Structure 1
Amino acid sequence: MLIKTKAIVLTSIKYGEADLIVKCLTEQGVKSYLLRSIYRSKSKKLKIGYFQALSQLEITAYHNKQGNLNKMSEASVYYLYQTLATDIYKQSIALFLAEVLAYALKEEEENQLQFQYIEASLKWLDLHDSFANFHLIFLLELTKYLGFYPDTSSMSANFFDLEEGNFTISQPFRSFLSGKKLILFKSLIGIKFDDMVELKWNSESRQSVLDILLEYYELHLPGFKKPRSLKVLKEVFNEIS
C-alpha cells in the first residue's frame, strides 16, 4: 500500500556495499525500510543525509503486511533542526534517545498520541537553551505511551516499587527506591519541559535519576537494553553543573 506519512528516523544501518536499512517511527507505527543502492544513487528523492538519528521527514513508501522490509520511494525533510545537529550536548541527547526509542518502540499498530508527543518534544529540545534535564523528563513522560507510567495515588509512601510501578508503605522485596533516590524520583513526576529549571540538580543527581529510569525501562520492557551511547551522554553531561 502506497502511503505518505511523517517519519522520525530511529536507526540507519549500512547493508552490503550500497544499501541502507532504516528504522523509523511513522504515523502508522514503527516501520523498517530497505533503501537499495542509496550510497550510489544521485536521486534527489532519497538522499543519504536525510537519515540521521531523529531526523523528521515526510516520506512516501510502500508498506506491506507480510512483516518484510518496506520500500521507500521518496523522502524530504519535514522539520529542519536549528540547533540539534550542531550543539554537542543536544547531539548526545539525540543519539541516546534514538537508541532508547529503537529498543522501546515495537513494530505495531499506529499510536498517534505517542508520535505527536515524540515529535513535539524533539522540536522543544531544538528550540530551547535550557535542557539539562530534558532527557529525564522525556523518558518518564514516554512511559505514559508505553503503558507503565508510575501510579501516583500513594506518592506520600516511603518506597517506590520499580517492578509494580507504584508507591508503597511497605518495603518491596526487590527493585525499589527509598531515601534520596526516592526524593529525586518524586521530584521528577509531573514536571514539564518548560518547568525543568525547578529541578536544581547537579550532574550526580541527573545520573542517579537516569540510572533509575533505565532500570525502570528494563523491568517493564522485555528485551530492552541500555543504549551504547549512555557512556558518552554521561561524560558530556558531567560538564554541566
Structure 2
Amino acid sequence: MKRALIAIVAMALLSGVACASKPPKKQFQLLAGEFVSPVRITKPVDQQSAVIGLTIKSPAWVPNTEDRLYLVKIEKDRDLFEGTKLIPTSIVVPPPGSGGGGTVYIQNVPPGRYAAVAFSTSEKGFGKVREVTLFLLPKSVVAQSDTTVSPGSIAFMGEYEVGASTMVLQEKAADEVQEHYFEAFWGKPLAQVIADLQVLGTPAYFAVHTVGLRRGSRDAEAESRFLAAAKRDLEPSWTPVIDRYRPPSR
C-alpha cells in the first residue's frame, strides 16, 4: 500500500503541474483500474462467436491478485506496433501452485486480427480502490502473438514466459513498441512523463513497468496445453468450437 500512496502522490503532483482543474481519467485508469468491471466467463452468443486465448507465466502474477491481459485490434499492418484500439480480457486468478501463470481469454470477440500488448495485476488497496500495476510486453511478444481469428472459431496466441519487471521510468527500460503502448494507456508520451517527473524527482514506485521475454512458443505441445485449459475453463457450450480447432498454417 506504500507503493499506492507514492503513486497517488506523484499523480496528484503531476496533475497540479499540468492543470489546476481536475484532469479527465486517463486511458490507463479506464482500462486497468476499478473503472473496468471484470469480464465474466460467458457463452457463445451465436454460431459466429469466436474466442482468443493466450497463456502467460510471470513472477508478477501471484495468488490473490486479479490479472488481466490487453489486446490491440489490428485493422492495418501499422496497428501491430502503433495501434490504439485496446481490449481488456477476462480477469484471471492464478491457481495455487501455478508459479505465477494462467490462461486468459476474450470471448465473443469480433472476427479479425489481434495481438497482446500488456497485462496488469490488481490487488485490493484502500476502500474500493484497487492497486493496479501495468506491465508492457516487449516488441517480440507483440509480434509473435499476432493472430487472426475467424467466425465461430478459437485462436491461440501462444505461450509466453516473461522475466522480472523494470519500472518504465528507468533509462532504456522500454523499447519503441512499449513506449507507444505506454502512451496509448497513459495518455502522454513516456518522454513527457519522465520530464514532468524530473521537476519533482523520480518516484520510488511507478505503476507502469516493462518486461522482457524469456521464452515463447506456439508449437503443437503449447497448443495442446491451451486447448485442454480452454475446455477446463470455458463454458461447456464452447466445446464444439474448441473441438473444431485447426492449427494455422505456418
Q: TM-score range by the shorter chain?
A: under 0.3
The structure whose Rg is larger is: 1
Name the structure where strand makes up a greater proportion of residues.
2
What is the TM-score normalised by the length of structure 1? 0.26
Name the structure where helix makes up a greater proportion of residues.
1
Structure ranking higher on relative contact order (CA contacts 8 Å, 6+ apart):
2
